[in-house]
Amino acid sequence: MPFEFENAALNGIVIVHPKRFRDARGAFEECYHSRDFAENGIEPPFVQDNQSWSIQNTVRGLHYQQRPGAQGKLVRVVAGRILDVAVDIRQQSPTFGKHICFELDAEKGTMIYIPDGFAHGFSVLSAEAVVHYKTTSFYQPDLEQGIRWDDPDLGIDWKVDHALLSDKDKELPSLNEKDPASLL
């Protein structure tokens, strides 16, 4: 199998290690194989691919969509290095409000599957980074939600000197300020 799958500390998140084949010409790896992923519990259909380019210290997130448009995401870094963050916003989950962080980089190629029920974001640790991710639901602006990146109750160390944020992300509320109906 061209992948190794590892369950993360928060239920539902899966770390995917692709096998990279190298020779004098460079390298080759499979990035996605529906049968292998399904055999390891990742079987929702992916319906949209997104890619971002960002400079160092950029923080994107924490974002999610409400139901019925909640998105699972398969995240990988094509160039550079990021800190990828997922926050459990499943109200009935024993880990509600907990977060988990992963360093992802293009050199290793490790991917993270984050099912719906999590807010997601990342910070750029290298000079620049290209992040590519597949989603299980289409982007729907009317269902878009977010949580403040520097919510003190979450205590996330984004590993940036000074966060570069979108205007929209600067205005997001903390998790405790969210209407419970907007969570998953």
Active centre residues (catalytic):
63, 133
Tell me which residue of 50, 67, 109, 59 sits closest to 85, measured CA to CA.
59
DSSP code at position 137 = S
Cα–Cα dist 180/182, whole Å: 5
Residue 112's beta-bridge partner residues? Answer: 15, 75
Cα–Cα dist 147/30, whole Å: 33
**Is residue 58 within 8 Å of 164, Cβ to Cβ?**
yes
**Is residue 150 within 8 Å of 162, Cβ to Cβ?**
no
